[in-house]
Amino acid sequence: MDVEDLENQSINDYNYLKLLKKFYDSYLKDYKLKFFSVQFLHVLIAGLTLIPPLILREIIDQAIPAGNISRIITLVIIVFAVYLTSSIFRYRRVFHGHKVAQFITRDMRNDLYNHYQYLSLNFHDNKKTGELMSRVIDDLNRLQEFIHHGPEAIIGSAVLLSGTVIIIFTLNVKLTLVTLLYVPFLIYFSYKIMQKMHQAFRATRSAKASLSDRLEDNLAGIKVIKAFVNEDFEQGRFNEKNQAHTDNRMSAVKYLSILFPGSRMLNSFGILSVISYGAYLTVIGDITVGTVVAFYTYLIQFREPLLRIVRMSEGLSRFFASTERFFSHLELKPEILCNTGDEKRESLKGKVEFDNVHLTYDNQQEILKGINFTANADQTVALVGPSGAGKTSMVRLIPRLYEANLGKVKVDGIDVREYDLKNLRSYIGMVMQEDFLFSDTVAENIAYGRPDAAREEIIKAAKDANAHDFIVGLKDGYDTLVGQRGIKLSGGQRQRVSIARAFLNNPKILILDEATSSVDLETEQLIQEAVDKVSRGRTTFIIAHRLATIVNADQILFVEAGKIVERGSHEKLMALDNKYREFYEMQFKKEEIA
């Protein structure tokens, strides 16, 4: 079962009640006192909103006809006190409501990010970076908004609506029934328009995601675009995505433009009912003028909470969708971390053995087929062969970046699965073909594995990697910011910084995956000198693009179609006059022609 199936299965296992309970137990429970205090404030604020129309009724019907100025002043002061109290409550509701929502989503975001760190590479191989960023940022931003505004809309609006209906029924039943005749039409109209509006907003979000993908590709590949003079072509493709986003957005705006004037128009029927029928009832002496004014005031504030409840149906749906996706990712098990041992070593000799190792990605094509070899401590082992043969997959099994499906990978005679994972990886240094540099300084990138390293240690590692000379020539030396992915450095410079980063940890096992590819001959020589220097006294695995760089290896493994088909020293393999020699001579001829 692949990652997508596991994720979908996890989502399908949820129902709404179970999801709410899990959300409460996992996150809301820690803030329940503040959260439910805020909910109580929703009730209080809605209750206070119901008071002024009743006081206005008393002023019109009693205080003014009686000419009682002191009574009018008293009632006005009461209304002021109500508004002042409501404002204080609103401040506390807004501040503490957003605070609780922010803290909850902070905890969720930390948990999800930390979980992504521990999930195996198999998970990350099957996911786009943009999708994971959307889960961490966009989904949780939507969830944060609902944690505060969702209960506010539902609880506050429910109290306000039910309180309004109860009060106006007590004031006059006949006028209430006439006044509320329009409400079913308002609800139906609002629901239908919002349904179409939300469909348009979903299409807008989809178009936005497509636009973002296109923008990310174009900006990341700007050098390729310029090299092929494809600016006009890419502008056309971007304009197409941008126009699709604009069209969908305008569709949503159209329905939004209909919703509020339309609902206001329907609400006006209720207001007209109050004015006309209320005036009639006043004339015949059935109700007072103050009652008509109170009805009018209640009806003016009736529409907004009604719309908010209808609108929250979509917010509730998004809340459940975001929460489902959150827990579906959080419950994916980090396969390697969940199956780690507790073996810890103070030191390693560095002997590595592969015993009948098989590897399959996503239960599909078998990448490695019965790999057997031994690399003794302090030996240099080179892996060569055509692209896609499985060389990189082999070395990634040593630090358990991937897990063998069958067979054993051993370090110092112990299955790597029996080691404490952090302990094992602390003795292994890796330099990949396109190693990643963070948007920090040169020094911080070199010290990434040892943030507490002294500046002298960083400089020594850089010198060992033949990187010191170019680093001191940079504008700010070791404090130079390298840009995103190290864009401010050349390919060879990035590679030497990566090698220095690996050297600083003083690993007992060093893995160099195409460390000299895509660099010029001078840089290759500098890198090769550094590798020769630091590979002494440690077990080193080299995946080489140029075979001339590995002729001195203690053992060369020729890998083809997931199998080791030849092994031995350079001299022995050349004497065999088989695949390795053919591969070597073919490359030598290409270099001669070049």
Q: What is the chain's pLDDT, residue by residue, as a tens digit (594 residues)?
A: 444 444 444 444 557 788 888 888 889 999 999 999 999 999 999 999 999 999 999 999 999 988 889 999 999 999 999 999 999 999 999 999 999 999 999 999 999 888 888 887 777 777 777 677 778 887 888 888 888 888 888 888 889 989 988 998 998 898 888 888 878 887 788 778 877 877 787 788 778 777 877 887 787 777 678 777 778 888 888 898 899 889 888 988 888 788 778 877 877 777 888 888 888 888 988 889 999 899 888 888 877 787 777 677 667 777 887 788 888 888 888 777 666 778 888 888 889 999 999 998 766 778 899 999 999 988 989 998 888 888 888 998 998 888 888 999 999 999 999 998 888 888 888 887 767 788 888 899 888 888 888 999 999 888 888 888 888 888 889 898 888 777 888 877 888 888 888 888 888 898 888 766 555 666 667 777 777 777 778 899 988 777 777 888 889 999 988 899 989 988 888 888 788 888 888 766 655 444
Residue 148 sits in the same domain as residue 43:
yes
d(CA 403, CA 416): 10
Q: 264, 303 in Cβ contact below 8 A?
A: yes
pLDDT of residue 314: 66
Confidence at residue 269, expressed as pLDDT on a 0 to 100 scale:
79
Both 330 and 419 in one domain: the answer is no
Q: Where are the alpha helices (DSSP H) in 351-441?
A: 391-396, 421-425
Domains contained in the chain, number: 3
**What's the confidence (pLDDT) of residue 574?**
87
User: Which among 451, 429, 400, 397 has a CA at the least distance from the CA of 499?
Assistant: 429
Question: Is residue 362 within 8 Å of residue 126, measured between CB atoms?
Answer: yes
The reply to whether 147 and 112 lie within a common domain is yes
pLDDT at 313: 67
Same-domain check for residues 279 and 210:
yes
83 and 182, same domain (yes or no): no
Encoded tokens for 495: 């590679």
Based on the fold, state whether residues 322 and 240 are members of the same structural domain: no
**298 belongs to a structural domain:** no
Q: 321 in a domain, yes or no?
A: yes
* Contacts of residue 277, Cβ cutoff 8 Å, sequence gap at least 6: 174, 175, 178, 179
pLDDT at residue 333 in the model: 80
Do residues 393 and 404 both lie within one domain? yes
* Cα dihedral 561, 567, 573, 575 in deg (nearest 10): -120
Identity at 367, one-letter amino acid code:
I
CATH code for the domain of 113: 1.20.1560.10
**Does 141 fall in a domain?**
yes
**Cα atoms found within 13 Å of the Cα of residue 349, Cβ hemisphere only:** 11
Confirm whether 269 is domain-assigned: yes
Q: Are residues 141 and 210 in the same domain?
A: no
User: Cα–Cα distance between 13 and 21 in angstroms, integer?
Assistant: 14
The CA distance from 553 to 381, in Å, is: 6
pLDDT of residue 8: 47
203 HSE (CA, 13 A, CB side): 17
Both tokens assigned to 516: 């000299």
Q: Is residue 300 part of a domain?
A: no
Residue 479: CATH number of its domain: 3.40.50.300
Are both 155 and 183 inside the same structural domain?
no
CB neighbour list of residue 208: distance below 8 Å, 6 or more residues apart: 245
| Secondary structure element (H or E) that encloses residue 521, with its range | helix 521-534
- The partner residues of 352 in beta bridges, in order of sequence, read 375, 411
The answer to whether residue 22 sits within a structural domain is: yes
Q: Which two tokens stand for residue 546?
A: 């140029």
**Per DSSP, which regions of 449-490 are E strands?**
none
Residue 1 lies in a domain: no
Q: 39, 151 in Cβ contact below 8 A?
A: yes
Q: Does 406 lie in the same domain as 325?
A: no
User: What is the pTM (predicted TM-score) of this model?
Assistant: 0.73
178 and 167 fall within a common domain: no
Q: Cα–Cα–Cα angle for 103, 108, 114, nearest 5°?
A: 125
Answer whether residue 467 is part of any domain. yes
Domain hosting residue 451, numbered range = 352-540+548-589
Are 34 and 182 members of one domain?
Answer: no
